[in-house]
Amino acid sequence: MWAARAAAAKQGDRIVVLDVRELIVITDYFVIANGTSERQVRTIVEEVEKALRGQGVKPVRREGEDQGAWVLLDFVDVVVHVFGAEERDYYDLERLWRDAPVVEWEEAGAASSG
């Protein structure tokens, strides 16, 4: 997963990829990560967007940039959620989407889809 590796490259914390294909029709995967500050959240978001643009994919929607507490990047097949640490614990998307299988991904190595 390009998005997960990009978040990891900027020290994103608790990075999780959920396969939501069987649960919703609007996307295939959620990538969830958090930063320790608003600045780090913005840095992670910028890196994810840069990495996916490098693969020829642009976000169709960006939300939450002004607040820096929860930024959403919608790449259609993949939706990336980058939270501040407190917001991540509060919204707890992993609990809300607990029926979604967790996708294993590698921080480094050969390119893969997503």
- The pLDDT tens digits for 41-67 are 999 999 999 999 999 999 999 999 877
C-alpha 59/C-alpha 77 separation (Å) is 10
C-alpha 100/C-alpha 114 separation (Å) is 17
Encode 16-28: b = buried (16+ Cβ within 10 Å), e = exposed. Answer: bbbebeeeeeeeb
Ranking 74-78, 96-100, 110-114 by mean pLDDT, the lowest is 110-114
pTM: 0.90
Structural domains of the chain, with CATH: 2-96 (3.30.460.10)
- pLDDT score for 112: 42
